[in-house]
Amino acid sequence: IVAHTHLDVGWLETFDSYYWLNVSRILPGVIEELAADPSKTFVWAEIAYFKRWYDEDATETQKALLQGFVARGQWEFVDGGIVQHDQACPTAYSIASQMTQGHLFLKQAYNTTPRVGWSVDPFGSSAANAALYGLMDFDALVINRISSDDMTRMMADRALEFLWRPSSSIPPARSQVFTHVFDSYFCMPGGFRWGMNGNNDPPITPANIEARADELVKDLRPRLDWFRTGNLLVPWGCDFMFQNASLVFHNTDLLISYINANPARYNMHLQYATASQYFAAVTAGGLEPFPTRGHEDFFPLVYSSVDHGKRSAQVWSGFYSSRPVLKAMSTQAEALLRASEALFAIVRAGEPRQTQYQAFFDKEFADIETARWDASIVLHHDAITGTGCSGDEGCTGGDQMGGDHNVVENYMALLQSSMILSNRAICDLISFHMSVAGSPAPVYPFTDPY
């Protein structure tokens, strides 16, 4: 059982609204539960939210507890990017940039580097992205959304875990990555989503525990036939889950204890685990039992269904080109960011008196770093894809409608902020370089073009 929460960095509400209304309630409760029971584990992916909590709301006690959890393997940061990025629209540079920024924060805060990629909600998976994860030296990659026909075939072939060799030009030793496809979405089974917004699943009681345990085992047992080992990864979370962490963990504890106490009835052992602990168990006997996959994408994402004998399909391809202005702004922000980064490196490397000008370089680096964070948020799989809500258009989504719905407008504001900061850094760096070289300063005063 891999306890997790999926945190969209904007979708039906803005990043800020989701943080204050949902995410800020998750971390304190989960930390309290893990501190009380060392057998519990948790995995966390989206660093945009975690860093905000760490910087603004975390107590020193909570930070210290998390340090211990990470060291003991109770808490695992997976993926580790600022967001779970889309895999069709961003460039390789922008993906690497946002992953690097998230990983740097984790290294500085907790001296840890994520070992498992976690890309569970993007609308299809690309071989190019898998190659990047191989080059980043991830031990494993977890994906989720693949086409219905692919899922059916891979279930029958017991091929939902495979060694992905995604590049035709980069040697497999550098680019391959062991990959797991979630067989039943990234949420825990229906009926066990306690505390999720709009959900009223009944709690576990002495009166219903046998029936509820039977129900869970009935859901899990068929999944074992789709994999090649006796281990099964059960994602135990969903969108913004664990806002009431004690409720979720208490009911889960009762189920685990009951099922494990009745081996003759269930012939199944449940335990909490991190993603890395699961993959260590699965690959303990080597990779030979697993099939390989070449450099094919899981694009386009096609959901097929049959209704009254008639087959239909939903092809998720509109996001390749939807909201072109947002996509264009993202490209412009990336170009300016790359220019500012390159210029910073050149100017700083060429200035022998770095100590004398340290304050200047620190300010410029901070601006560039902020620009990188702002631009990276828009790589989220509900941002650059265009699936985020716009207040002028109206929004749907039922249980996630309590906050600010101007999500697309918020993404554009972040990109505008990123471009302003990058432009300012470019102008400052050119002016500095020309000034110390003997030319009048400032040569290129900054003016806000936006």
Q: Where are the beta strands (DSSP E) in 161-203?
A: 161-164, 177-181
Show the tokens assigned to 436: 């110390």
Measured CA to CA in angstroms, residue 337 lies from 98, 365, 436, 443 at distances of: 12, 11, 24, 21
Evaluate whether 405 touches 13 at the Cβ level (below 8 Å): yes
Per annotation, catalytic residue among 8, 121, 183, 404: 121
C-beta atoms surrounding 185 within 10 Å: 14
Evaluate whether 238 touches 186 at the Cβ level (below 8 Å): yes
Picking from 143, 123, 124, the residue whose alpha carbon sits closest to that of residue 133 is 143
C-beta atoms surrounding 57 within 10 Å: 14
Does residue 253 have an active-site annotation? Answer: no
Show the tokens assigned to 427: 């102008």
In sequence order, the β-bridge partners of residue 182 are none
Q: How far is CA 204 from the centre of its chain?
A: 30
Between CA 50 and CA 102 the distance in angstroms is 10
Show the tokens assigned to 153: 């075939």
Picking from 117, 133, 85, 132, the residue whose alpha carbon sits closest to that of residue 330 is 85
Show the tokens assigned to 70: 């990470």
DSSP for 272-320 reads: ---HHHHHHHHTTT-STTS-EE-S--B-SEEEEEEETTEEEEEEE-GGG
Evaluate whether 70 touches 112 at the Cβ level (below 8 Å): yes
Region for 158 from its dihedrals, namely left if φ exceeds 0, alpha if ψ lies in -120 to 50, beta otherwise: left
Evaluate whether 106 touches 63 at the Cβ level (below 8 Å): no
Show the tokens assigned to 59: 């107590």
Evaluate whether 50 touches 44 at the Cβ level (below 8 Å): yes
Catalytic residues: 121
